[in-house]
Amino acid sequence: MVRDQVRFGLIGTGRIGQVHAASIVADPDATLSWVADPYLAGAESVAARYGGTATGSPERLLDSAEVDAVLVASPTPTHVTLIEACIDAGLPVLCEKPIDLDIVRVDALRPKVAASSVPVALGFNQRFDPAFAETRTRVAVGEIGELEHLSITSRDPGPPPADYIATSGGIFRDMTIHDFDMARFFLGEIVEVSATGARLFDEGAREHGDYDTVAIVLRAASGAIATITNSRHSAIGYDQRLEALGAEGLLLVANAPSSLVSVSTSAAVEAKRPYLDFFLERYAEAYVRELAEFIKLARGEESTSPTFEDGRAALIIADAAQRSAEEGRVIRLTE
Amino acid sequence: MVRDQVRFGLIGTGRIGQVHAASIVADPDATLSWVADPYLAGAESVAARYGGTATGSPERLLDSAEVDAVLVASPTPTHVTLIEACIDAGLPVLCEKPIDLDIVRVDALRPKVAASSVPVALGFNQRFDPAFAETRTRVAVGEIGELEHLSITSRDPGPPPADYIATSGGIFRDMTIHDFDMARFFLGEIVEVSATGARLFDEGAREHGDYDTVAIVLRAASGAIATITNSRHSAIGYDQRLEALGAEGLLLVANAPSSLVSVSTSAAVEAKRPYLDFFLERYAEAYVRELAEFIKLARGEESTSPTFEDGRAALIIADAAQRSAEEGRVIRLTE
Amino acid sequence: MVRDQVRFGLIGTGRIGQVHAASIVADPDATLSWVADPYLAGAESVAARYGGTATGSPERLLDSAEVDAVLVASPTPTHVTLIEACIDAGLPVLCEKPIDLDIVRVDALRPKVAASSVPVALGFNQRFDPAFAETRTRVAVGEIGELEHLSITSRDPGPPPADYIATSGGIFRDMTIHDFDMARFFLGEIVEVSATGARLFDEGAREHGDYDTVAIVLRAASGAIATITNSRHSAIGYDQRLEALGAEGLLLVANAPSSLVSVSTSAAVEAKRPYLDFFLERYAEAYVRELAEFIKLARGEESTSPTFEDGRAALIIADAAQRSAEEGRVIRLTE
Amino acid sequence: MVRDQVRFGLIGTGRIGQVHAASIVADPDATLSWVADPYLAGAESVAARYGGTATGSPERLLDSAEVDAVLVASPTPTHVTLIEACIDAGLPVLCEKPIDLDIVRVDALRPKVAASSVPVALGFNQRFDPAFAETRTRVAVGEIGELEHLSITSRDPGPPPADYIATSGGIFRDMTIHDFDMARFFLGEIVEVSATGARLFDEGAREHGDYDTVAIVLRAASGAIATITNSRHSAIGYDQRLEALGAEGLLLVANAPSSLVSVSTSAAVEAKRPYLDFFLERYAEAYVRELAEFIKLARGEESTSPTFEDGRAALIIADAAQRSAEEGRVIRLTE
């Protein structure tokens, strides 16, 4: 009883689109059917490597009748329109985060998503990281008792180009949004946001009024507290840690070692190599699992894929963080 | 060329007074000369064990002419009066933190301290913890570049009695004050305080309007950010960690293992015993070094003992944290 | 300038044959062309999953003219004959270890291998484990000075069936042989072998006069010493560690964690999950790299694939270990 | 109900004698009454610092009638005579290891020790190391099931002077003897010894026919196996590790960190400072506990102090190791 493979249409062939293309062909339940990118050479290159028909037009992909599900990895400003088009085409869609940088556009799309039976999933891939997912499960089964404090550290190896900063929506909407979603993943509804931002080293951040270092405190409806710290650089490599403190214990996700080898000399002992460089390496397995979960969703099976509402909720927290940092006060999300 | 020992007068013979008595007799440069406690049996018990003359009257101790320096380990409300008396008696004094729970009383004492040449030191013993002190030195010599983020985790094994909470001044003035001082130790002047408090598990905190779990974000004049998280309980044992993130690296102070042994079985690997139970064990060495440094101060030598101004500055931050948590806004310390 | 893929003939489709089949199809430079197993259903199953033509006859595979290189993963007693047939067919061959359990048969084959230009590689996959390979490179570049002591710990999760023990050639030839090769990989020529064996828990070992626990000390021509400890069971999971001690430092390969998560409670702190279960998981990457290196060899490029001589040398050490354990004396390999 | 302090006579005031003097005065149950050393200035210096009457004559100390127990920390060749004199004087004695380098002299003393009721304890201080002692207790209560393999690593920071080597009795009797005792502590009776020695770096060892690097395999009467590796130097600091492998788990004693701080940079992560330098630091607590246990013995209470028989048994293993290394064969201790 072999099941048909899900035929994917991939829209967007930049770095993250290529990751998804590789995941699609590696998943025995999926095949890459069409690849669209207005930058046609990009689409052709991905199609040549991973299979599928290349096109410069997302519309052609959606109209091809050879696609069962769509993966949107195009620039953020196109997400709302493409999600809408997928819904119209009746095609389940996995869209990279964020839905949009503007909550007004997100809210405008919201009723259509809610009214439709077409599944819309958001690409919060970190939920599928084996270590984070394991930790959340262990919290959920009560291994450490009632959750009291969640601490997330996320630091990128180095700041993006100033150009990127300019259109990123700011560090809260661009980078911390993963951590806001992770906080929701562990704690559910967030009711208060208090954010502090600093400009310490990145010229691009300074130029565009963004921060390069932020610390955020969230309060959940449960009463529990989360702290998040982000930096746009990290000398030690990609720094991705999480601690969940419960009444009866502490679960800790360490950084991913890049080797099992340590060295001891007269200068220092037990020294290891710097951590895995960046998200493509650190979250390689997460992308694979994210796709597998979306395939279940696309097939109408039970699935834990993050939803449009998850994407919207994280953006609302990011907006609140931005206001909090600017106004120097706690933002209550129910106000 | 043997130097005379410093003859100590110890005021207060509770748990912390006894720690200091032991440190005094263990230090070859010090001797315990007088011990005062209105609860005379306490003074007599300490004198019997560690030497010195017992009295129920601190005044008699100060007037004895057999004391070169005073260690104040009595209840907080007595500190201001005793510091004043030490200054009047011309006796260098090491006073346990906090100076007082009321900044008005501290400020009233301030001119006298400033005008006097009698050294007044504050008992921020954690500055003398070998690991924290080493880390600060390594930061100071530039091992990790410019300091950008300091993260302090401090969780007590279990909440104090509700009675204690009632007169403690609240978690910020009682517990976090150590971390505020540590933040100043690493970062210098603090200019902004943003605090969030929760009541999650402790009936005493609830009853007295205090918090049992807090998260604080500080901004230093340098621009760097500090995050502090406290809890009044910790299932894993006394949780005392610190991370200093610089532009070029990360220094991390781990919890103190209670044993070099780890065990691996089919259930779990590399499991260690819970951490050292509480501050007397964790900071045993810090108390010893704190005293040694104060002895230098008492002798007129160069010393790094925390000062009255350090005690006042930490209290100001604690007051600001209290207001921040209550009002839901950032408190600027220069306002 | 695309290069032709190397067309592989796979002989043997048991557990390890299937691992190689997966590696072959995953390597862009290789394709699976023929699959042979006297147990035809096995060959057909592998061919159905990974491609290629199935046959019950290794001879047909060798005569097919559709094979550029052969991977021998059949039972040990067939190795010598198959290597010989590959040489006759002019086909580069990667043969699983050991060449044979009988050094007489190995020596009989030796002149033919030496006289032929057809590459013969041995499947000492652990040389290609990223951690071991990294360690050896770091030793070679002098990071820890002159190598003085190598310590290898290798323990299987549980003992094999008694049937397997019966035909395995004994623990030294079956299990320790990997460690003998690893010792040669780091230390070069071995000149003395001293082995101790015990029967502590495994009925199969007892029944067949084998050991379940062994400790071996080797002396290298360089003067350096290696210690190896093996056990046929390990409650903590697959235990695979290595330490290289040099005059100036120590390189240590830790066990592979199965998760980045640790847990701390009032019972124990920093506890992790048991290690990866067994060699297929632990050495997954090693199999991939082993194949890639053999492909270079098959193409006539420079390659570090272990050779027939490596396979023979490890067997000689294993034989010596067997004698040493039985006779209670050091065996000198030059005697 | 205060108990009388045990009045100690200390014979020998070198490095280790001074350690014991400090332990004696620090123990509330002991006092230092007499100090003897033919090098009178040494005795006087220790007496000046720690109290007691100094003498150049051990006989005067024994005859003083002011001594309840004796601590022998003089050179090895004097041990037998001094133990004998203590027995004659009816004074419990704690003698530093080894009893003597010559088993003939030890055996000559043996009947007298056996016939006397005067307690004779041997200074195998490592049994009292908190980590080793804890591990042994956890093994004894069955936490890891039946003990199958014990692995001991012991490496000194640097080789002793060639002069020391000349009279040391060789590495097995001088250094490994601690590990032989530790093996007996965990495994009980040892029945086979197989030792391998190398001369890799130390001119003194080469000159005097000693080894600087050794590996030993022991078999216990229980069937379990122990491996010991020693080196006369260690670039990483004093290397003292132990692993106890049981049927159900592994207990591991790690090296003692010299600080809780680790550093991560772009060059390496989680690097710690080198380990505690040498035995006085690493085993400081062990010396204290060793003395406390001997005080119990001297008072006629139940005690776990190692005995004369323990000292003799370790020497017999050391002798066997020497023969094994020289003759290249297993030495059976029952032969």
Question: What pLDDT, in 10s, does the model give residues C78-126?
Answer: 999 999 999 999 999 999 999 999 999 999 999 999 999 999 999 999 9
Q: Which chains sit next to A, with 3 or more Cβ pairs under 8 A?
A: B, C, D
Q: How far is CA B125 from CA A189, B96, B169, in A?
A: 40, 9, 20
pLDDT per position as a tens digit, B119-146:
999 999 999 999 999 999 999 999 999 9
Nearest by Cα to B156 from B166, B171, B145: B171
Residue A219's contacts (CB-CB under 8 Å, 6 or more residues apart) are: A190, A191, A192, A225, A226, B196, B198
Which of B118, B153, B182 is the last residue before a domain boundary?
A: B118
Residue A1 lies in a domain: no
pLDDT per position as a tens digit, B282-325:
898 999 999 999 999 999 999 999 999 999 999 999 999 999 99
CA trace torsion A247, A249, A254, A260 (10° rounding): -170
Q: Which residues of B touch A (CB under 8 A)?
A: 144-146, 148-149, 151, 153, 155, 192, 194, 196, 198-201, 213, 215, 217, 219, 223-225, 227, 229, 231, 233, 235-236, 239, 245-250, 328-330, 332
Q: Which residue's structure tokens are 């430079």?
A: C29
Q: Which chains sit next to D, with 3 or more Cβ pairs under 8 A?
A: A, B, C
One domain, residues D31 and D150: no
| pLDDT value of residue D3 | 65
Local confidence band at D335 (pLDDT 50, 70, 90 cut-offs): very low
Nearest by Cα to D297 from D168, D171, D128, D174: D128
Distance CA D35, CA D28 (A): 19
| pLDDT value of residue B3 | 65
- Burial of B49-85, coded b for 16+ CB within 10 Å and e otherwise, reads ebebbbbeebeebbebeebbbbbbbbebebbbebbbb
Cβ proximity of A192 and A198 under 8 Å: no
One domain, residues B297 and B172: yes
Distance CA B177, CA B180 (A): 5
Cβ proximity of A47 and A54 under 8 Å: yes
Residue A207 lies in a domain: yes
pLDDT at C270 over 70: yes
Q: Do C269 and B274 count as a contact with CB atoms less than 8 A apart?
A: yes
Give the whole-number percent of chain B exceeding pLDDT 90: 93
One domain, residues D232 and D289: yes
The H or E element that residue B286 is part of is helix B284-298
One domain, residues A148 and A55: no
Report the CATH number that the domain containing residue B112 is assigned in CATH: 3.40.50.720
Residue A177 lies in a domain: yes
Residue C219 lies in a domain: yes
One domain, residues C142 and C85: no
Q: How far is CA C286 from CA B119, C174, C223, in A?
A: 66, 19, 29
Q: Which chains sit next to C, with 3 or more Cβ pairs under 8 A?
A: A, B, D
Strands A331-332 and A271-272, how do they pair?
Answer: unpaired
**Direct distance between the N- and C-terminal alpha carbons of chain A, in angstroms, rounded to an integer:** 53
Q: What domain count does chain A have?
A: 2
| pLDDT value of residue B135 | 98
DSSP secondary structure string, A150-173?
A: EEEEEE-SSPPPHHHHHHS--HII
Q: Do B236 and C273 count as a contact with CB atoms less than 8 A apart?
A: no
Which of D94, D118, D142 is the last residue before a domain boundary?
A: D118
Q: Do B215 and A217 count as a contact with CB atoms less than 8 A apart?
A: yes
One domain, residues D92 and D189: no
| pLDDT value of residue D1 | 39
pLDDT per position as a tens digit, B90-109:
999 999 999 999 999 999 99
Residue A193's contacts (CB-CB under 8 Å, 6 or more residues apart) are: A216, A217, A218, A317, A320, A321, A324, A330, A331, A333
pLDDT at C1 over 50: no
Q: Do D269 and A263 count as a contact with CB atoms less than 8 A apart?
A: no
One domain, residues A305 and A161: yes
Number of cross-chain residue pairs from C and D with Cβ atoms under 8 Å apart: 110
Distance CA D317, CA D332 (A): 10
Residue B56 lies in a domain: yes
One domain, residues A204 and A113: no
Residue C292's contacts (CB-CB under 8 Å, 6 or more residues apart) are: C27, C29
One domain, residues C48 and C169: no
ipTM above 0.85, yes or no: yes
Q: How far is C-alpha D258 from the chain's CA centre?
A: 22
pLDDT per position as a tens digit, C242-266:
999 999 999 999 999 999 999 999 9
Could you list the residue range(s) of the whole structural domain that residue D328 is in?
A: 127-332
| pLDDT value of residue A3 | 65
Strands B239-246 and B271-272, how do they pair?
Answer: unpaired
Residue B83, φ and ψ in degrees, nearest 5: -60, -45
Distance CA A144, CA A142 (A): 5
Residue D20's contacts (CB-CB under 8 Å, 6 or more residues apart) are: D10, D71, D73, D287, D291
What value does the mean pLDDT take over residues D311-318? 97
How far is the alpha carbon of C37 from chain D, nearest alpha carbon, in Å? 38
pLDDT at A2 over 60: no
Residue C51 lies in a domain: yes
Partners of B235 on chain A (C-beta within 8 Å) are 144-145, 246-250
The residues pairing with C272 across neighbouring beta strands, listed in sequence order, are B269, C262
Partners of A137 on chain C (C-beta within 8 Å) are none
Which of A118, A152, A175 is the last residue before a domain boundary?
A: A118
Q: Which residues of A touch C (CB under 8 A)?
A: 130-131, 134-135, 138, 143-144, 248-256, 259-266, 270
Distance CA A143, CA A133 (A): 14
Local confidence band at D279 (pLDDT 50, 70, 90 cut-offs): confident
Report the CATH number that the domain containing residue A141 is assigned in CATH: 3.30.360.10
Q: Do C149 and D194 count as a contact with CB atoms less than 8 A apart?
A: no
Angle at B131 between CA B127 and CA B135, to 5 degrees: 85
Partners of B274 on chain C (C-beta within 8 Å) are 264-269
Residue C303 lies in a domain: yes
pLDDT at A328 over 80: yes
One domain, residues A80 and A131: no
One domain, residues C75 and C147: no
Residue B322 lies in a domain: yes
One domain, residues B63 and B86: yes
Q: Do A252 and C259 count as a contact with CB atoms less than 8 A apart?
A: no
CA dihedral sign, ordered D73, D78, D83, D86: negative
- Burial of A16-52, coded b for 16+ CB within 10 Å and e otherwise, reads bbbbbbbbbbebeebbbbbbbbbeeebbbbbbeebeb
Local confidence band at B1 (pLDDT 50, 70, 90 cut-offs): very low
Partners of B272 on chain C (C-beta within 8 Å) are 268-271
Q: Do C252 and A261 count as a contact with CB atoms less than 8 A apart?
A: yes
Cβ proximity of D325 and D195 under 8 Å: yes
- Tokens at residue C76, please? 């040990």
What value does the mean pLDDT take over residues B27-40? 96
Strands A69-72 and A147-155, how do they pair?
Answer: unpaired
Residue A258, φ and ψ in degrees, nearest 5: -95, 0
pLDDT at A276 over 90: no
- Burial of D248-267, coded b for 16+ CB within 10 Å and e otherwise, reads bbbbbbbbbbbebbbbbbee
Q: Which residue's structure tokens are 């600093």?
A: A198
Cβ proximity of D147 and D246 under 8 Å: yes
